[in-house]
């Protein structure tokens, strides 16, 4: 039965209430609170029962047939919500807003929050990762982008100039899980985000117009960013509904302040996750994350994705990393103290929003308890930022909250003895009455002679005297007992005295639970006053934690402090790829990467598997490490500050959008060419291999010339087109280098050492042999290659470098078909199977022509 098919006039009052609420949240699964359960009905029930593997049942709702229903215990709802959210659904929590004991008729219910991928604020989130919700506001000529982590209170905004692809790159680079867009946006953007990148997208035109949260954008002058923030805030506030004043004033992201790169570069360099498994392990983040707090880990990830361009700030970080390495005893004390600090940012978020428990306050107490020692250490280190120690917060929590308090807030056991006189008196009454019960059991045994009677309690029947079946004949009228319940194992009784004490005990316990909850919420209100200061301290702790991690990895892995230069010189002596070095079993071979002010392009040749891609990656990773304030994996390092990094490494089809390897290559190359400046770093790995040999080689040469003459960016360009190496004669800022290998008795050994000059051999057949292709196949490929090497005539590379005055070469007259076909191919670029196939086609065509 579907909700749309129901005759609402026949519905029961409760189901009518559900339908009215569901009408407001049509695209959301509603968890509807009924007693101790959250229940789902109609389409929600059918969907949830399938996704969560729940039993689908029915419920009487005033109709002729039962409506579909499934349910979950209210105390265990979090894991079910997580599962639905992870699969892309929205969940609305509909609570009872009144105590059923105090209401006659229908209990008032309403949605207290809507939970989506980007609006989670619970304690089950990945502690080392931000959970951003973002929006795009299309102004027709540019895009406003803002994003917030509701769990930590961070808010950011920026403007993106350019086409649709550029704003999509901005969204995917940051890994946003949910995006809100305005209703006039180009639907192509929505479709690509949903289909190609599996991002949850909601369309709305509403904007926040109230005053409560104006502080988030009141100091921002750009009206476009203000409008963008209002658009995001409206969605967040409508969904979360609670107190979100832990949201912080917005930080404007200025592109000039950060080293820019897109999601392709982030993925190619494996900065925060690996390409193969999309896991954190074996990424740069994994290597550097020696942080002791969740806040530090999140700040490290943010820093890796947003390296700095401020020389002054980078030198400041280097100074502190260096000092920590020198003052290693103080550093050890700092690490010990940081290990006691919990996730202050998210604790503040839960305290402000209200979805906290006693464990959160204990974690807060332990965290602020570690701050005085951290403050002392930072003073000794002459650190330039100061933290608060919140002695008042620690004192309040220390004398009020029980260390072993339960997770729930409605069971009691939250507040320590001595904190509140009224509570202590109620606890004395309850405890004294319980002692009376034990004494009564002893007295009744002596008075009646029934040695195995016991006084017990359950929630349904209250307190009772229980006598086993074999002893019930000993019960006499003069005992004054009243029969209360008959069991298969015996009888239960009560007495006037027992009833009186039951009322006292239960009344006291109910008051204790109620009073403890009130006191707990009062304490929470006091702590809320410190939210902004706690957030400021948390930000400082995050940076301190990241810098101590840099100090640890720099010491452990022998990283050195880089020298930042203004003359566009790269000098990386004995540079290593930091992750590969730690993962590989063999000894890592370091290499120099040297590009003085007269060299802008390194043209890298050498065999497959020799380390060209690693060489290029380690250059970019070293730059990024330097620009987040970390020491770098070299013996000596001099680096300019770069503004952008562009990479094209590896070949992959974009299957979702139907684009081939070559089209993806050309799009990424174009993006680099259009956006790069002379202060950028470009990495192109075997560009042009996705098309025919001469097409690819021509494009590769033209791109090299364009970068050389027009952009002048530092560029590492690897290629198998050995013909391009002659460009060194004509392009004065280009130098050849090659990754060396030795061949002995037909076997190749990769030395992984980069040397000046070029090579003209690819060792493709040797690599095939290392891949254990059949020996007969390898032998045959060698024979074919020998034929081609004798017959092949190298085509001279065109080295005219005036980009816009290139003349068209006339084609050479045909001699014969076989000769021309051989000229069209480059045997050095062919796989063994391609060579065999080509030879077979030649043979077949020759027979046919005869």
Digit-coded pLDDT (tens) for 179-231: 999 999 999 999 999 998 999 999 999 999 999 999 999 999 999 999 999 99
Residue 552 has pLDDT above 70, yes or no: yes
Q: What is the mean predicted confidence (pLDDT) over 324-337? A: 96
Helices (H), 137-253: 164-173, 187-195, 223-240
C-alpha 377/C-alpha 545 separation (Å) is: 13
Mean pLDDT of the 790-799 span = 54
Per-residue pLDDT, 802: 44
Burial of 399 (0-12, 13-18, 19+ CB in 10 A): exposed
Instruction: Measure the CA–CA gap between 763 and 93, rounded to whole angstroms.
Output: 63
Point out the least confidently predicted range of 149-158, 346-355, 462-471: 462-471
Asked whether residue 288 carries a pLDDT value surpassing 90, the answer given is yes
User: Exposure of 47 by Cβ count < 10 A (0-12 exposed, 13-18 middle, 19+ buried)?
Assistant: middle
Q: What is the pLDDT of residues 597-613, one digit of tens each?
A: 899 999 998 877 778 88
Q: How far apart are CA 148 and CA 157, in angstroms?
A: 9
Average pLDDT value for residue range 725-751: 80
Neighbours of 519 (CB within 10 A): 18
Structure tokens at 44: 């929600």
Do residues 147 and 174 make contact, with C-beta atoms less than 8 angstroms apart?
yes
Whole-structure pTM value:
0.84
* Tens of pLDDT, residues 337-359: 999 999 999 999 999 998 899 99
Distances in whole angstroms, Cα of residue 294 to Cα of each of 78, 126, 270, 544: 21, 9, 21, 12
Tokens of 515: 């009073």
Burial of 138 (0-12, 13-18, 19+ CB in 10 A): middle
pLDDT band at 806 (very low <50, low <70, confident <90, very high): very low
- The pairing of strands 200-203 and 601-605 is unpaired
CB-CB contact of 736 with 726 (8 Å) = no
Predicted local distance difference test score (pLDDT) of residue 425: 87
Helix (H) or strand (E) holding 593: strand 591-595
Confidence band of 815 (pLDDT split at 50, 70, 90): low
Mean pLDDT, the chain, whole residue set = 88
Higher-scoring residue by pLDDT: 833, 404: 404
- pLDDT, tens only, 352-383: 998 899 999 999 999 999 999 999 999 999 99
**What's the whole-number mean pLDDT along residues 756-760?**
79
Rounded CA gap, 292 and 545, in Å? 7
The DSSP bridge pattern shows strands 570-575 and 591-595 to be antiparallel
Positive or negative, the CA dihedral 573, 576, 577, 579 is: negative
Give the pLDDT band (50/70/90) at residue 723: confident
**Among 65, 99, 79, CA closest to 513:** 99
Q: What is the reported pLDDT for 5?
A: 81
Contact (Cβ atoms closer than 8 angstroms) between residue 647 and residue 269: yes
Cβ proximity of 749 and 742 under 8 Å = yes
- pLDDT band per the 50, 70, 90 thresholds, residue 850: low
- Token pair belonging to 660: 């081939």
Pairing state between β 154-161 and 142-149:
antiparallel
Q: Please give the average per-residue pLDDT across 803-810, as a whole number.
A: 41
Cβ-count burial of 144 within 10 angstroms (0-12 exposed, 13-18 middle, 19+ buried)?
buried
Of residues 541 and 835, more confidence is placed in 541
Note the pLDDT tens digit of each residue in 438-453.
888 888 888 888 888 8
Residue 163: which residues within 8 A CB-CB, separation 6 or more?
none
Q: Strand, coil or helix: what is 393? A: helix
Asked if the model's pLDDT at residue 786 lies above 90, the reply is no
286's enclosing H/E stretch is helix 284-288
* pLDDT, mean of residues 387-397: 96
Centre a 10 Å sphere on the Cβ of residue 712 and count the other Cβ atoms it contains. Answer: 17
CA atoms within 13 A on the CB side of 70: 17
Lowest mean pLDDT: which of 361-375, 394-408, 454-468, 808-822?
808-822
Residue 90, pLDDT score: 95
Read off the pLDDT band of 751 (50, 70, 90): low
* Least confident segment among 477-491, 554-568, 640-654, 704-718: 640-654
Per DSSP, the residues of 312-378 read: HHHHHHHHHHHHHHHSHHHHHHHHHHHTT---HHHHHHHHHHT---HHHHHHHHHHHHHHHHHHHHH
Instruction: Indicate the pairing of strand 154-161 with strand 251-252.
Output: parallel
Quote the crossing angle between the two packed helices 496-528 and 391-400, to the nearest 10°.
Answer: 170
- Which range has the worst mean pLDDT, 194-208, 475-489, 544-558, 630-644? 475-489
**What local confidence, expressed as pLDDT, does residue 162 receive?**
83
Buried b vs exposed e over 621-640: b needs ≥16 C-beta within 10 Å?
A: bbbbbbbbbbbbbbeebbbb
What contacts 415, CB < 8 A, 6 or more positions away? 400, 401, 402, 423, 516, 519, 520
Does the pLDDT of residue 92 top 80, yes or no? yes
What average pLDDT does range 567-580 have in this prediction? 95
609 vs 227, 302, 531, 615, 739, CA distance in Å? 52, 33, 54, 11, 10
Task: Say if residues 63 and 10 touch (Cβ distance below 8 Å).
Answer: yes
Which residues are CB-contacts of 845 (< 8 A; sequence separation ≥ 6)?
817, 818, 821
Residue 770: CA count within 13 A, CB half-sphere: 14
Mean pLDDT of 744-766: 69
């Amino acid at each position: 039965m579907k909700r749309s098919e129901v005759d609402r006039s026949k519905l029961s009052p409760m189901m009518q209430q559900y339908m009215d609420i569901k009408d407001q949240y049509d695209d959301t699964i509603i968890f509807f609170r009924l007693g101790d359960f959250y229940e789902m009905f109609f389409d929600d029930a059918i969907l949830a029962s399938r996704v969560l593997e729940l039993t689908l049942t029915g419920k009487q709702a005033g109709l002729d047939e039962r409506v579909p229903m499934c349910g979950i215990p209210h105390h265990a709802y979090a894991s079910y919500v997580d599962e639905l959210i992870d699969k892309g659904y929205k969940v609305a929590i509909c609570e009872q807003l009144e105590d059923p004991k105090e209401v006659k008729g229908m209990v008032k219910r309403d949605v207290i929050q809507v939970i989506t991928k980007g609006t989670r604020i619970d304690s089950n989130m990945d502690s080392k990762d931000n959970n951003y919700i973002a929006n795009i506001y299309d102004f027709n000529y540019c895009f406003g982008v803002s994003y917030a982590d509701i769990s930590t209170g961070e808010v950011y905004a920026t403007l993106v100039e350019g086409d649709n692809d550029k704003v999509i790159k901005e969204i995917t680079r940051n890994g946003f899980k949910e995006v809100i867009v305005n209703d006039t946006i180009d639907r192509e953007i929505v479709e690509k985000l949903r289909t190609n990148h599996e991002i949850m997208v909601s369309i709305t035109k509403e904007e926040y117009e109230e005053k409560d949260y104006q502080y988030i954008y009141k100091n921002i002058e750009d009206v476009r960013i203000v409008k963008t923030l209002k658009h995001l805030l409206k969605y967040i506030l409508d969904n979360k509904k609670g107190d979100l004043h832990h949201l912080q004033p917005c930080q404007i992201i200025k592109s000039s302040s950060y080293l820019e790169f897109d999601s392709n570069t982030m993925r190619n360099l494996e900065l925060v996750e690996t390409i193969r498994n999309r896991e954190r392990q074996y990424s740069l983040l994994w290597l550097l994350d020696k942080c002791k707090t969740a806040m530090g880990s999140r700040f490290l990830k943010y820093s890796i994705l947003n390296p700095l361009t401020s020389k002054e700030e980078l030198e400041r970080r280097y100074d502190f990393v260096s000092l920590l390495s020198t003052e290693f005893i103080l550093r050890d004390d700092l690490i010990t103290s940081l290990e006691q600090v919990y996730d202050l940012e998210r604790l503040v978020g839960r305290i402000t929003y209200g979805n906290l428990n006693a464990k959160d306050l204990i974690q807060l107490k332990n965290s602020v308890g570690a701050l005085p020692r951290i403050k002392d250490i930072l003073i000794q280190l002459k650190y330039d930022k100061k933290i608060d120690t919140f002695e008042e917060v620690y004192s309040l929590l220390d004398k009020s909250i029980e260390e072993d308090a339960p997770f729930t807030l409605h069971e009691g056991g939250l507040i320590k003895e001595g904190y509140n006189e009224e509570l202590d008196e109620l606890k004395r009454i309850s405890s004294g009455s319980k002692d009376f019960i034990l004494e009564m059991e002893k007295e009744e045994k002596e008075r009646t002679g029934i040695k195995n009677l016991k006084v017990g309690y359950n929630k349904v029947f209250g307190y009772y005297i229980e006598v086993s079946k074999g002893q019930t004949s000993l019960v006499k009228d003069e005992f004054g007992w009243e029969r209360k319940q008959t069991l298969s194992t015996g009888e239960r009784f009560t007495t006037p005295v027992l009833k009186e004490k039951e009322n006292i005990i239960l009344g006291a316990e109910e008051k204790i639970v109620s009073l403890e909850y009130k006191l707990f919420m009062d304490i929470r209100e006091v702590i809320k006053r410190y939210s902004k200061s706690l957030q400021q301290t948390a930000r400082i702790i995050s940076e301190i934690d990241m810098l101590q991690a840099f100090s640890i990895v720099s010491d452990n892995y022998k990283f050195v402090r880089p020298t930042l230069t203004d003359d566009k010189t790269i000098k990386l002596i004995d540079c290593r790829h930091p992750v590969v070095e730690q993962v590989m079993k063999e000894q890592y071979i370091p290499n120099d990467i040297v590009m003085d002010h007269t060299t802008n392009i390194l043209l890298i040749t050498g065999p497959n598997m020799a380390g060209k891609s690693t060489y290029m990656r380690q250059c970019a990773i070293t730059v990024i490490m330097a620009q987040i304030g970390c020491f770098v994996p070299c013996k000596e390092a001099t680096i300019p500050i770069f503004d952008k990094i562009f990479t094209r490494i590896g070949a992959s089809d974009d299957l979702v959008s139907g684009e081939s390897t070559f089209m993806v290559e050309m799009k990424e190359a174009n993006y680099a060419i259009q956006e790069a400046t002379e202060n950028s770093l470009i990495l192109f790995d075997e560009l042009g291999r996705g098309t025919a040999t001469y097409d690819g080689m021509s494009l590769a040469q033209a791109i090299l010339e364009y970068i050389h003459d027009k952009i002048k960016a530092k560029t590492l360009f690897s290629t198998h087109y050995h013909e391009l190496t002659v460009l060194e004669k004509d392009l004065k800022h280009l130098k050849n280098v090659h990754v060396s290998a030795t061949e002995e008795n037909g076997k190749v050994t990769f030395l992984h050492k980069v040397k000046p000059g070029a090579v003209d051999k690819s060792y493709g057949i040797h690599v095939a042999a290392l891949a254990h292709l059949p020996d007969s196949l390898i032998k045959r490929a060698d024979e074919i290659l020998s034929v081609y090497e004798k017959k092949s005539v190298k085509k001279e590379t065109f080295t005219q470098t005036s980009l816009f005055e290139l003349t068209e070469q006339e084609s050479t007259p045909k001699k014969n078909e076989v000769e021309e076909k051989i000229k069209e191919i480059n045997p050095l670029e062919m796989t063994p199977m391609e060579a065999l196939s080509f030879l077979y086609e030649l043979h077949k065509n020759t027979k046919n022509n005869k």
